[in-house]
């Protein structure tokens, strides 16, 4: 296991993050306590230190399990949890990004996690109601109180994140260290604005869903190993082409499809730390084995070509020769950037 700095901080996090939305069977499909403990132990034994959870995951059971599991490991673990969401109920302030929910949620998470601080506290999803200033001042207050060390944001538009980061910088508040987004060979639309923004602002990216809910693991093509014949009638042509390309690379590499899909995400530019979301120890062990090897440039190109998307305006506009000629006065190829 190697380690990366979390954005523009000195915090060292493992190159893979253990996602624990599967810790607990409250939602009918998660892992038992024993299996969750086995995955936790295996991750730490592999050198992992970065763990992701949320107050909502398995109705709080995920946080409770982690609180029990960490024990003497607490100092070693870089623990991230989230606020925003709650199950539907009678109180409108039990969900949302506002300060009231932030403060109530962090206290409840601290109790479930059996700790007095959280390393990385995430806003789980943007609610389009709360002023950005309220959010950023709230995070800064929590940092100054020592209840959290760093702040992050998940599932938000690029304009929200960039504006929040600018306000924090101008006012001397704690900025976002991490950005959590969905990113995989199937879901690449974040390449339009979110990923370039993160690289420009120095924010680490922790992609969730790098295996697209199992779609990229070969889960839906069991028994069919010929890449040219892998077709699922419930999927569109692009997804079938991506799955076939992943299977082809997996076969030529002697590796699993899941490892191929994970490594494509891992090898993208910038600070990328994929979140692993396994339900079984065997799945986690297979995911961790992706660290043993890398995709070749030719394999990366094959997968990128199969999964490419149209970036749309203004990205394609910038690539026009006439536009580049005007913007740089005909000197683009002679200017060192």
Model confidence at 232, pLDDT cuts 50, 70, 90, reads low
H/E segment holding residue 137:
helix 132-145
pLDDT > 70: percent of the chain: 96
Query: Is residue 322 in a domain?
Result: no
Give the integer Cα–Cα distance in Å for 8 and 168. 14
Query: Is residue 329 in a domain?
Result: no
Does the pLDDT at position 225 exceed 60? no
pLDDT digits (tens, 9 = 90+) for 129-173: 999 999 999 999 999 999 999 999 999 999 999 999 999 999 999
What residues contact 57, with CB distance under 8 A and at least 6 apart? 20, 21, 23, 24, 63
Count of the separate structural domains present in the chain:
1
Query: Is residue 325 in a domain?
Result: no
What residues contact 203, with CB distance under 8 A and at least 6 apart? 7, 8, 161, 165, 176, 177, 178, 179, 197
What pLDDT is recorded for position 272? Answer: 98
Tell me the whole-structure pTM to 2 decimals.
0.94
Query: Is residue 337 in a domain?
Result: no
Backbone angles phi, psi at 184, to 5 degrees: -165, 175
Model confidence at 235, pLDDT cuts 50, 70, 90, reads confident
In order, the DSSP letters of 139-166 are: HHHHHHHTSEEEEEEES--HHHHHHHHH
Instruction: Given the residues 40, 57, 83, 121, select the one marked as catalytic.
Output: 57
CATH of residue 289: 3.20.20.100
List Cβ<8 Å contacts ≥24 apart for 213-216.
215/186, 215/239, 215/243, 216/184, 216/185, 216/186, 216/242, 216/243, 216/246, 216/257, 216/258, 216/260, 216/261
Give the integer Cα–Cα distance in Å for 62 and 86. 14
Query: Is residue 30 in a domain?
Result: yes
Query: Is residue 273 in a domain?
Result: yes
For residue 152, the Cα-to-chain-centroid distance in whole angstroms is: 11
Does the pLDDT at position 223 exceed 80? no
Query: What average pLDDT does this structure show over 264-289?
Result: 97
What pLDDT is recorded for position 230? Answer: 53
By the 10 Å C-beta count (0-12 exposed, 13-18 middle, 19+ buried), 129 is classed as: exposed
Give the integer Cα–Cα distance in Å for 151 and 333. 40
Q: What share of the chain is helix, strand, coil (3-state, %, to 5)?
A: 45, 15, 40
Q: How many Cα atoms sit within 13 Å of 16 on the Cβ side?
A: 29
Terminal Cα distance for the chain, rounded: 34
For residue 199, the Cα-to-chain-centroid distance in whole angstroms is: 15
Q: How does DSSP classify residue 250? A: H
Does the pLDDT at position 231 exceed 80? no
Question: What is the residue range of 238's domain?
Answer: 3-309
- Mean pLDDT over the full length of the chain: 95
Query: What average pLDDT does this structure show over 302-329?
Result: 95
CB 167 within 8 A of CB 136: yes
Does the pLDDT at position 31 exceed 80? yes
Query: Is residue 321 in a domain?
Result: no
CB 16 within 8 A of CB 1: yes
Does the pLDDT at position 229 exceed 60? no
Radius of gyration of the chain, Cα coordinates, nearest whole angstrom: 21
Query: Is residue 327 in a domain?
Result: no
CB 197 within 8 A of CB 162: yes
Active site residue 57: yes
CB 230 within 8 A of CB 200: no
SS (H, E, C) 20-41: CCCECCCCCCCECHHHHHHHHH
């Amino acid at each position: 296991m190697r380690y990366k700095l979390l954005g523009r901080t000195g915090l060292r996090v493992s190159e893979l993050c253990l996602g624990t939305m599967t810790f607990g069977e409250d939602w009918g499909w998660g892992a038992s306590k024993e299996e969750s403990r086995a995955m936790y132990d295996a991750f730490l034994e592999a050198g992992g230190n970065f763990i992701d959870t949320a107050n909502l995951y398995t109705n709080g059971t995920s946080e409770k399990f982690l609180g029990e599991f960490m024990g003497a490991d607490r100092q070693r673990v870089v623990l991230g949890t989230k606020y925003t969401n709650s199950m539907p109920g009678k109180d409108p302030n039990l969900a949302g990004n506002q300060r009231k929910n932030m403060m109530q949620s962090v206290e409840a998470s601290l109790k479930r996690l059996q700790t007095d601080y959280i390393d990385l506290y995430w806003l789980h999803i943007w609610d389009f109601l709360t002023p950005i200033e309220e959010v950023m001042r709230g995070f800064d207050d929590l940092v100054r109180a020592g209840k959290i060390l760093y702040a992050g944001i998940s599932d938000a538009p690029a304009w929200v994140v960039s504006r929040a980061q600018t306000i924090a910088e101008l006012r001397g508040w704690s900025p976002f260290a991490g950005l959590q987004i969905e990113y995989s060979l199937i879901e690449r639309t974040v390449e339009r604005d979110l990923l370039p923004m993160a690289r420009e602002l120095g924010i680490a990216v922790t992609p969730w869903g790098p295996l697209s809910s199992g779609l990229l693991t070969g889960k839906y093509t069991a028994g069919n190993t010929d890449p040219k014949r892998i077709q699922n009638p419930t999927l569109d042509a692009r997804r079938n082409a991506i799955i076939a390309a992943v299977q082809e690379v997996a076969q030529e590499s002697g590796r699993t499809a899941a490892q191929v899909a994970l490594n494509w995400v891992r090898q993208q530019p910038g600070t990328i730390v994929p979140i692993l979301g396994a339900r079984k120890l065997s799945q986690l062990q297979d995911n961790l084995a992706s660290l043993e090897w890398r995709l070749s440039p030719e394999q990366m190109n094959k997968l990128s070509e199969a999964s490419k998307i149209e970036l749309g305006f203004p990205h394609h506009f910038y690539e026009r020769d006439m536009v580049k000629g005007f913007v740089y006065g005909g000197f683009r190829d002679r200017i060192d950037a």
